[in-house]
Amino acid sequence: MAEVKAKYDDQAHAINARNVTFDFDSVPMHYIPGEPFATHIINVMHLVLPEGERAMADCLAEALPLIDDERLREEVAGFVGQEAMHASSHELARNHLEKLGLDVGPMVDAMAWLVDRILGDHGLSGRAKHEWLCERLALFAAMEHYTAVIGEWLLTQDQLEKKGMHPAMLDLIRWHGAEEVEHRSVVFDAYMHVDGSYARKARGALITSPALLALFIVSADYLFRKDPTAAKGRFWPWQFARATWQGTIPSFTTFFTEIPRYLRPGFHPSQLGPMDNAIRYLAQSPAARAGES
């Protein structure tokens, strides 16, 4: 615990929501040219993340009164603002894809229902309310591990540029990925502060890892089937295997190989890669610069 605390202090810095401005008008349906399925894997972020991020922001806001560390309270408040901005930015991208003919309404409604059913507060009170809050913090801490790992991947690979991905969509996912790296410790620290049980943390990781993988596959399959483009190809598993092999999307094995690292005693998110890539990207992200001016 002492080691965890020391690491947190080492990297603590103010976290604030940035204004961003995106222009998706010129984004085509397959914004990674020639890669319909990889495009829909990225689209899962527009479809699934906004609901999940709102549920996470609500959970952290509920935990705030239990956090008496002033610095961590500031970070949680900044985190809630960042996640709200992520959700609304992905929604803009989703609206644009709907204009292009990708009918995602029923899936979005189903996702909102599911997230509320599974991750809502369920109107509990007393001890049950506290236990459920801790459980959700453990689940969200594990999810944030994956968003940080994928964020790091987005910042350090150039395959999406090589493939000619539309710059506005690339900026959206890199800006998001960079802020995920920037706030990677917040939910973990909040969980450790409010509860910190190793068994609960392990349970959160073991539930979250296969659930996220299944969510990505099922949602991308749905989007692929909804895609009205005639030339999208017929068999997505082949496109999936090729995109994984070429490094256009992160490997699905990440959802298994990260479990031992996350569950190592003494692990802290600050032990992931350097923060520098994220801070540098955020300083020059076109959407963040446009939002500033």
User: Which ranges of the chain does DSSP label H, i.e. alpha helix?
Assistant: 2-11, 36-63, 70-99, 105-119, 126-156, 159-162, 167-182, 186-194, 198-226, 236-246, 254-263, 276-284, 286-292
Contact 22, 287 (CB under 8 A): yes
Residue of minimal Cβ distance to Fe ion: 86
Looking at the Cβ atoms of 30 and 154, the one nearer to Fe ion is 154
Give dist(CA 16, CA 12) in Å, integer: 13
Looking at the Cβ atoms of 54 and 96, the one nearer to Fe ion is 54
The minimum distance between CB 80 and Fe ion, in angstroms, equals: 10
The minimum distance between CB 185 and Fe ion, in angstroms, equals: 11
Which residues between 123 and 162 bind Fe ion (CB under 5 A)? 147
Give dist(CA 126, CA 79) in Å, integer: 26
By CB under 5 A, name the one of 180, 182, 195, 227 that touches Fe ion. Answer: 180
Looking at the Cβ atoms of 61 and 128, the one nearer to Fe ion is 61
Q: Rounded to the nearest 5°, which phi and psi values hold at 278? A: -70, -45
The minimum distance between CB 229 and Fe ion, in angstroms, equals: 28
Looking at the Cβ atoms of 152 and 180, the one nearer to Fe ion is 180
By CB under 5 A, name the one of 86, 174, 193, 200 that touches Fe ion. Answer: 86
Which residues sit at the interface with Fe ion, rule CB under 5 A? 83, 86, 147, 180
